Amino acid sequence: MLTDADLDALLSGLHADPFSRLGLHADDAGRLWVRALLPGAAEVALLDADSHKRIVELAPRRDGLFEAQVPRRKHRFDYRFAVRWAGGGEGVYADAYGFLPQLGGDELKAFAEGRHMRPWLMLGAHPVQHGDVSGVRFATWAPNARRVSVVGSFNNWDGRRHPMRLRHEAGVWEIFVPHAAEGDLYKFEVIAGNGELLPLKADPYARRAQLRPETASIVAPLPERTPLPRQRERANRRESAISVYEVHAASWRRAASGDFPSWDELAAQLPAYAADLGFTHVQLMPITEHPFDGSWGYQTLGLHAPSARFGPPEGFARFVKACHDRGLGLLLDWVPAHFPTDAHGLAEFDGSRLYEYADPREGFHRDWNTLIYNFGRTEVRQFLIGSALYWIERWGVDGLRVDAVASMLYRDYSRPAGEWIPNLRGGRENLEAISLLREMNEQVGDVEGAITVAEESTSFPGVSAPTYAGGLGFHYKWNMGWMNDTLRYMAEDPINRRWHHDKMSFGLVYAFSENFVLPLSHDEVVHGKGSMLAKMPGDPNDANEWQKFANLRAYYGFMWGHPGKKLLFMGQEFAQAREWNHAESLPWGLLEDERHAGVQRLVRDLNKLYREQAALHRLDCEPGGFEWISAHDAEHAIYAWVRRDGTGRMVIVVCNMTPVPRDGYLLGVPDGVTAWREALNTDSAYYGGSNRGNGVAAAGLPVQSQPAHGRPLSIAIHLPPLATLFFVPI
């Protein structure tokens, strides 16, 4: 019989190896014993699984522990327990302790050695079938725990019921729980190495979770592999037109009740809207599970679970398909830089600082009050890289926009002197994070067509250079310098812009040092920064705010004509008047105002021109795609340049950043063209402007042999106030 010491350890949940005592076991004399720990059971009988005949009644020992010697049997056999519960009801159950180890030695070894880049195939909750028994295989990494149990709706949240088996070679705990099923709630009950019972932990690899404030994980199937459609592979390349519509899914179009939209509601509206406006990609702010709405998803604890705010995960699959059906790529914000300290999450997961750096000088973010992943730890690296691959391979998204890369690259990020730890070479770079990002980008780069985009705000070299050339390996990098400089310029009263002329042109000094995306993101319309429209100068006595709208239209024209891929945050496409509020729907009623509707029409036409004119996108990231015509006319705040596609096709872009029209303005032009046609004018009445311009006559504007801007040829144009114009050859 079971010793009192073993009995006490099992009942207290402290037994080091419950699989050695529960289930079927032979004693030293070769006799078989069977034991079951079933708190709440009144009677337990052992059945033969094949014949269903009763073999023996188990005797109760104490507090739900039952045992018996098995008569007439000398070898292990398949069995079941017939249980009558004290509270009423009865059933026949397979025994979790009657099954052999679930995870193979090779995959555990690969995980321990850092070679398992898809650990979600092994860890987490996986519905499986063993013979005629269906159930769920649970596994979690907790190497410093004394005991781990899986608790949930299938065992009355009782940590005594399903203590897990420790696979010492990898620090992984595992168990197969018969009769657990898809949709069951679960967590892990962990006893730390010092004997402390920790708060129940959600599964780091959960593929579904409860809606906050509830925090349980939910058993969900592993999505099937979903490769990118072939046309999406081509659409993500550097030579393609990429114009991104950034969306906060919870506030894009919220119901009047204030409820979150479902994935299916979003799928029915958002892709069609973005495609109609000519965007090539939708980018979602983080939709991985997170506890606090006000973090906008950037403080996530569920790197493998689409947020329950929008319904079950299968709805997200339909949303991805809806985007692709509309010819749109889908990018997801992905956050490997930090995680929140919530007790049910990754913080001190097994009682030790497991996922985070141990020293707060490395492992705590002052800016966000969050924890920093231990980027050098093998299992943490696999967790993060695996998450990146999971969204791309299993959900078919086009790529990831990686948040807060700068905070990962530098150990002294937002830290005063003396409060950070230098790297092994004595420097400030986080070598482990750099190595992680390179490996992640190499792994994602092996998936045909998938891309990664870095939000990186420093001058760290080679962010979008390939790893074999010493770069980080991202496909694109947000151009934060361009965004900051140009927004500062646009905020100036036009009369002062002559003193800030280089803010608009300086970006061309480094424009081709990376594969840049020009971002006007959510960060520019929160925390008191005001809306894009509110940033624009204008006469405060002008009730119609014509200068504010004209400035914004001209700025959008400048952005779409500038080298670099484009990104615009939702609401900016129709000149949202107030700062974005994550708890409210976008103010769609503004589109009843022609000024706002005109800005929306302009964005649609800018996207159309950008896609149709190869010169505006094919060499976005190469110096051969750009040539200044006029970069130094600070007195008149005029900029002009040529965009080229490398095959002879050209587009001329001209910006007038003052409210003074310039009629008969001589613009130097490249040779080889006899006439130019105005293809888009942000001052058009169609967009809400004064309708000054150069018309759309078929004959266009003839090239004349009159020098201008250091060129022998020119065209005479009407340059409207606060406007950007695009000209194409005839």
**Residues annotated catalytic, as ranges:** 403, 455
Return all residues near 409 (Cβ < 8 A) that are at least 6 apart: 429, 430, 433, 434, 437, 456, 458, 460
Which residue's structure tokens are 């965007």?
A: 279
Rounded to an integer, what distance in angstroms lies between the CA atom of residue 514 and that of residue 206? Answer: 36
Expressed in angstroms, the distance from the first to the final Cα of the chain is 96
What's phi and psi for 725, nearest 5 deg? -120, 145
CA distances from 658 to 505, 506, 602, 633, 639 (A): 16, 19, 20, 12, 11
Q: Residue 456 is inside which H or E element, if any?
A: none
452-467 burial, b at 16+ Cβ within 10 Å, e below that, comes to bbbbbbeebebbbbbb
480: left (phi over 0), alpha (psi -120 to 50) or beta: alpha
Q: Tell me the two tokens of residue 254.
A: 């919220």
Q: Are 265 and 233 in contact (CB under 8 A)?
A: no
Q: Residue 632 is inside which H or E element, if any?
A: strand 626-633
Rounded to an integer, what distance in angstroms lies between the CA atom of residue 468 and that of residue 438? Answer: 10
Residue 578: burial class (beta carbons within 10 Å; 0-12, 13-18, 19+): middle
Q: Where does 492-590 have alpha helices with state H?
A: 502-505, 507-510, 532-535, 546-561
Q: Tell me the two tokens of residue 253.
A: 């179009």
User: Nearest Cα to 448, choosing from 228, 223, 241?
Assistant: 228
CA distances from 633 to 333, 497, 595, 655 (A): 39, 11, 30, 11
Neighbours of 697 (CB within 10 A): 11
In 553-615 the beta strands, taken as DSSP E runs, fall at: 565-569
Rounded to an integer, what distance in angstroms lies between the CA atom of residue 390 and that of residue 108? Answer: 19
Rounded to an integer, what distance in angstroms lies between the CA atom of residue 580 and that of residue 333? Answer: 18
Rounded to an integer, what distance in angstroms lies between the CA atom of residue 179 and that of residue 94? Answer: 8
Neighbours of 44 (CB within 10 A): 24
Rounded to an integer, what distance in angstroms lies between the CA atom of residue 338 and that of residue 356? Answer: 9
User: Nearest Cα to 434, choosing from 457, 410, 466, 400?
Assistant: 410
Q: Are 629 and 668 in contact (CB under 8 A)?
A: yes
